[in-house]
Structure 1
Amino acid sequence: MFKLAFKNLNKLLVSFAFFCLFFQVAADLILPSITADIVNIGVVRKNIPYIWHTGLIMLAVSLLGIIGAVCNQLIAATSSQKLGVKLRHFLFAKITAMATADFTKIGEASLITRTTNDVVQMQNVTYSMLRMMVRAPMMLAGASLMAYFQSPQLMLVFVAAIPILAIVVLLIMRKSVPLFRKIQGLTDRINLVFREGLTGVRVIRAFNQDAFEQRRFARANGNLTDNAINAYVTTSLMSPTMTFIISASNIAIVWFGAHLIAGSQMPIGNLLSFITYATQMLFAFMQLSMIFVIVPRAQASAQRIQEVLAISDTILDSNNAQTVPNITSIRFAHVDFAFSHSAARVLKDINLQVGRGQTLAIIGGTGSGKSSLINLIPRLFDPTKGSVSINDIDIRQFRQSDLHEKIAFASQKSFLFQGTIRSNLHYGNPKASEEEMWQALHTAQADAFVKKQGGLDAPVEQNGQNFSGGQVQRLSIARAILKDADVYIFDDTFSALDFKTDALLRAALHKDSKINRAIKIIVAQRISTIADADRILLLEQGRISAFGTHTELLKTSTVYREIVNSQLHRVDAAAALSGDEHA
């Protein structure tokens, strides 16, 4: 925890904060002694000039202490907030750069908690560290020394009080620390349930499972609440217990001090300053005990943050990574793929090649490995065995950033960012002109509804919730084709389109010279979407079942004919068998 904090703090500012804190503590320790002198010399002897003179010194010391406290608090607040900024930046950068396999190791809900709640815990402990963690031991040691100089006899009160305080703190810590550690995991759980409730609200309503989800959330919320109540009730016992012990100690000090004053063994001013030092000592001890509660919780948060930052990336650029040339061919050679921690292979011995200007269509049943296959091209995953090559060079030899610049990807789950249509299109090409954006929208058959929505500056809500599924898909396609790329990948992005829009969109793509020069890979379920592709790849249980043109597969593949017959009328299927590829 301390290593993570100091690594990301400004060392010069931290040193200055401790320097200011030293003056604050010194002022707090000197003031009771000055008060004792005012009482012993000024008040008892009725020396008014001495009271004025010493009072001015007290004001100067107080001012020095105030300046030190303000500077220290300002630096502590600023430094703790800047630490939070850095940690959130590091976490976000790490998470966005993670491979998909690494991302799933922790889970979305936990990553959100670690980026928010855990970072806040680190901010709180850093603020406390620059304030209480250093001030409390300094004050405890200094006040003990000054109190001893005022009256060694009264120090016996603390010999009895400190062990009692220590026992109370240890008992409370033993009970509360495990509870605070558990809170972080329960926070992950409630974030997970809440997130699923938000993203799956339509499914919940469709299946009338509102009551079930309410009970599920209530359980998670109740567990967190019960655990938090137990933790805070336990720690809340510390303050009244400490107050009772401090009050009892002060009573004992006044009792024994009165006897010392009556026996002329101690001036009255010394008793007043001793009570002040006693209060400072006991409050410093109480602050230390509170630190012992804060630190374990922050330590748990630091470990959770460090777990994310320490994840070893499974997909890395090689030491001698090359710049990606213009892509003219993509080749899969004996490729196998399995997800991490899974023995079952999703892809098995895939061999294929596609060249510039060609269209490769991929079809197959659910779970046959279509998306996994195309995810290997931009290195969202790496093959378990075999190689994926660009221009006969293994893609692992290229820089990932360069590789991604050459590939336009419209994913299976279309996603729009909150903002405007313009800002979403700029993800595909930040330098695109307004004319180019409208051309991309026209090709994607999205220009008509975009104009009705108010043009390029029409608002886009979170996840594109103010658009239909088909509109979101068309905007996602427009964003992809706006990019000047060598490879265009469409992962089942035509599924929400009606047949007419699908046909118009594909016809527009055929007329686009930029896209015609590139490699096009289309994953689809409809035969009408892929029938005119240069090559069609049929996947079955991760293996290549058939590979060829639409006409060739109709003649050679029983499975492909079954798919055609299930989707097309018998007359159209017969026409297709006779050689009409566009039936």
Structure 2
Amino acid sequence: MIKLIKRVSLTSAIMAFAFMIVQVISDLYLPNLTSNIINDGVAKGDIDYIWSTGIVMLGFSLLSIVAAVGNTYYATKESQKLGQKLRSDVYRKVEQSSIKTFDKYGTASLITRTTNDINQVALVTQMTLRLMINAPITLLGASFLAYQKDAELTRVFLVVIPIMITVIGVIMYLAVPLFKSMQEKTDRLNLVFRENLTGVRVVRAFNKTKYEEKRFDEANLDFTTTAIKVNTIVSSMMPIMTLIMSGTTVAITWFGAQYISEMQLEVGNLIAFITYAMQILFSFMMFAMLFVMIPRGEASAKRINEVLEEEDYILDPEQPETLTTKGKDATLVFKNVDYRYAGAEKRTLEDVNFEVRSGQTVAIIGGTGSGKTTLVNLIPRLYDIEAGEIMINGHNIASVTQKNLREVIGFVPQKAVLFTGTIRENIKYGNKEATDEEIWQALTTAQAREFVESLPDGLDSHVEQGGGNFSGGQKQRLAIARALVKKSDIFVFDDSFSALDFKTDANLRQALKEDLTQGILVIVAQRVSTVIDADTILVLDEGKVVGQGTHEELLASNETYQEIVSSQLREEDLA
């Protein structure tokens, strides 16, 4: 928490502190003026003194209001600026982090940390700049002035204060662990809700609406039960404190009346003492609020710092080389590449070797879980290899910056992702300088021109979140066009033709062959028909390359490839 609060501007903190000092001094001086009015004005019938002192009281009251507004302004301003900085920092950190970070925390938790947790830290910061200054100064000042008014009456605090400290301690002991658990339950609630939103089609297709409603209700009830419990505990503080304060007022009035009857205390001094006593008790209540909120903010701050201090698994070199596009001389080489996921006993990829040059296509095929997607994710360095080398245009990809590396790669992931906006904006995501002519050319190659032209607004047609208003095949073709408009040396298609019919698949591969004469194509596919024309086909089985060659060579000599071909032929025959 302290690490995050250090980000607050020192100037604003000083201004908040200065305004609060003025407010506290004004508030502490007012009871003394009240005492003077009663003792020297009302008791003596001095109307002029009452008016003059009343005007002074009004001035101090206005000064207190102005100071309170000033303190609130700077406290709010800095707490919200801190929230803004943290949201930006967490967002940039997540955007620049490796895929391992997403795998470690999960999307739902990252969203919660960026919103709910940062809001908690901002709230605690605001309270700190207000109450952390107000409470101790008011406590010390009111205690000193109360003692000045009557030293004997201050003995009441010897009983009251230990009781308040005990109450605050018990409430903290019960509430703080619940506040911490609420953050985890918020993660769980967000996770379930997000899964239901993203998987709504699957939920309805399998008639699992009631099941998912039950799962959400359980997470919701768990969160609600904890929230009710912790808020009930915290809310009990106010009536208990009010009871203590009322009892304190009764005790002070009782003893004070006796002192007045014995001529040991003036009435005005008793009124001022009661006011100072309330200020002292309110200070303890402010401390209690802080002690309840700070642990909650601390829990949130810890979760934010976990993300901000997360180790960068993929680092850029200190003295990077420059990777440039080579056009017809581009190369992609895997040398003895091994890869293992974090915590896994067995390697996902082992001793992968191949080389491909401009104008050539390397296709990767194999069973589910054989490591196809993992292999192509290593090319743009979404993961770092365990051993071996990956060379692009003669440079080890670890010797160049990630930004530079990805400039020469056009990547189409396994799941086609489109962003809210227009088709033009989505295609320009690959190349912001692309002209409409280049966009149409990319759409033509991707076999998407026909359906885009049929839309009323053409390139300006709206794309809903995730491309929900397009079919799977349309989304894949738009994603392919986005990669093609980049004009890279290497194009990676990770099972990007799976939603296409056989005719569109064949037309697309033919168009790629004709238009990308200088590009390197890396294609992951499940269908033999998709990889049949590749210059080199890699057959993966349990992370190992068990076959490498053309379709004819593998069909003649590789048992695994023969099994894949024969299984698909049988399925086609049955169809």
Letter of the structure 2 residue corresponding to residue 220 of structure 1: A
Write out aligned runs for 1:216-227 (5 A). Answer: 216-227=215-226
* CA deviation after TM superposition for structure 1 residue 137, in Å: 1.4
Local SS of the residue matching 1:516: coil
Q: Note the alpha carbon deviations across 1:104-145, whole angstroms, 9 max, x for none.
A: 111222111111111111011011001112211111111111
Name the structure 2 match of 1:475. 478
Write out aligned runs for 1:308-457 (5 A). Answer: 308-327=307-326, 328-453=330-455, 454-457=457-460
Name the structure 1 match of 2:528. 527
- Mapped contact 2:334–2:352 kept (Cα < 8 A): yes
Q: Call closer, same or farther: CA 1:65–1:549 in 2, change over 3 Å.
A: same
Name the structure 1 match of 2:103. 104
2:37 is the counterpart of 1:38: yes
Q: Note the alpha carbon deviations across 1:132-160, whole angstroms, 9 max, x for none.
A: 12211111111111111111111111111
* CA deviation after TM superposition for structure 1 residue 301, in Å: 0.6
Local SS of the residue matching 2:458: coil
Distance 1:124 1:195 in 2: 26
Distance 1:569 1:226 in 2: 56
* CA deviation after TM superposition for structure 1 residue 361, in Å: 1.1
Q: Note the alpha carbon deviations across 1:23-73, whole angstroms, 9 max, x for none.
A: 011111111111111221122222222222222222222222111110110
Task: Using the aligned pairs only, state the percent identity.
Answer: 50
Local SS of the residue matching 2:151: coil
Write out aligned runs for 1:224-239 (5 A). Answer: 224-239=223-238
Q: Call closer, same or farther: CA 1:560–1:277 in 2, change over 3 Å.
A: same
Name the structure 1 match of 2:10. 11
* CA deviation after TM superposition for structure 1 residue 2, in Å: 2.1
Name the structure 1 match of 2:552. 551
Distance 2:213 2:407 in 1: 45
2:499 is the counterpart of 1:496: yes
* CA deviation after TM superposition for structure 1 residue 245, in Å: 0.5
Distance 2:322 2:99 in 1: 23
Q: Note the alpha carbon deviations across 1:195-223, whole angstroms, 9 max, x for none.
A: 11111222222222222222211211111
Letter of the structure 2 residue corresponding to residue 343 of structure 1: E
Distance 2:45 2:444 in 1: 96
Write out aligned runs for 1:60-459 (5 A). Answer: 60-327=59-326, 328-453=330-455, 454-459=457-462
Letter of the structure 2 residue corresponding to residue 2 of structure 1: I
* CA deviation after TM superposition for structure 1 residue 554, in Å: 2.2
Letter of the structure 2 residue corresponding to residue 457 of structure 1: D
The worse-fitting range, judged by mean Cα deviation, of 157-166 and 48-57 is: 48-57
Q: TM-score, normalised by structure 1?
A: 0.95
Q: Call closer, same or farther: CA 1:431–1:71 in 2, change over 3 Å.
A: same
Letter of the structure 2 residue corresponding to residue 222 of structure 1: L
The worse-fitting range, judged by mean Cα deviation, of 22-31 and 523-532 is: 523-532
Distance 2:137 2:462 in 1: 57
Q: Note the alpha carbon deviations across 1:502-544, whole angstroms, 9 max, x for none.
A: 12222222232xx221211111122222222221111111111
Distance 2:359 2:11 in 1: 59
* CA deviation after TM superposition for structure 1 residue 302, in Å: 0.6
- Mapped contact 2:414–2:495 kept (Cα < 8 A): yes
Name the structure 1 match of 2:2. 2
Local SS of the residue matching 2:430: coil
The worse-fitting range, judged by mean Cα deviation, of 244-253 and 547-556 is: 547-556
* CA deviation after TM superposition for structure 1 residue 234, in Å: 0.9
The worse-fitting range, judged by mean Cα deviation, of 73-82 and 206-215 is: 206-215
Local SS of the residue matching 2:144: helix
* CA deviation after TM superposition for structure 1 residue 571, in Å: 12
Local SS of the residue matching 2:499: coil
Letter of the structure 2 residue corresponding to residue 156 of structure 1: R
* CA deviation after TM superposition for structure 1 residue 568, in Å: 4.3
Name the structure 2 match of 1:580. none
Distance 1:370 1:463 in 2: 24
Distance 1:38 1:469 in 2: 82
- Mapped contact 2:325–2:488 kept (Cα < 8 A): no
Distance 1:403 1:5 in 2: 37
Distance 1:221 1:460 in 2: 32
The worse-fitting range, judged by mean Cα deviation, of 130-139 and 470-479 is: 130-139
Q: TM-score, normalised by structure 2?
A: 0.96
Distance 1:437 1:393 in 2: 30
Letter of the structure 2 residue corresponding to residue 47 of structure 1: D
Local SS of the residue matching 2:503: helix
Letter of the structure 2 residue corresponding to residue 550 of structure 1: H
Letter of the structure 2 residue corresponding to residue 173 of structure 1: M
The worse-fitting range, judged by mean Cα deviation, of 549-558 and 133-142 is: 549-558
Letter of the structure 2 residue corresponding to residue 5 of structure 1: I
- Mapped contact 2:120–2:300 kept (Cα < 8 A): yes
Distance 1:516 1:274 in 2: 91
Q: Call closer, same or farther: CA 1:221–1:570 in 2, change over 3 Å.
A: closer
Q: Number of residue pairs matched?
A: 569
Distance 2:421 2:147 in 1: 67
Letter of the structure 2 residue corresponding to residue 382 of structure 1: D
* CA deviation after TM superposition for structure 1 residue 441, in Å: 1.4
Q: Call closer, same or farther: CA 1:153–1:570 in 2, change over 3 Å.
A: closer
Distance 2:123 2:97 in 1: 28
Distance 2:484 2:383 in 1: 23
Distance 1:268 1:467 in 2: 81
Distance 1:352 1:126 in 2: 56
Distance 2:90 2:273 in 1: 50
Letter of the structure 1 residue corresponding to residue 546 of structure 2: S
Distance 1:394 1:508 in 2: 31
Match of 1:487 among 476, 486, 490: 490
Letter of the structure 1 residue corresponding to residue 432 of structure 2: P
Distance 2:454 2:469 in 1: 13
2:568 is the counterpart of 1:567: yes
Runs of 5+ unmatched residues, structure 2: none
Distance 1:435 1:284 in 2: 70
Local SS of the residue matching 1:316: coil
Letter of the structure 1 residue corresponding to residue 360 of structure 2: Q
2:52 is the counterpart of 1:53: yes
* CA deviation after TM superposition for structure 1 residue 569, in Å: 7.9
Letter of the structure 1 residue corresponding to residue 478 of structure 2: L
Runs of 5+ unmatched residues, structure 1: 573-583
Distance 2:39 2:436 in 1: 85
Local SS of the residue matching 2:325: coil
- Mapped contact 2:448–2:477 kept (Cα < 8 A): yes
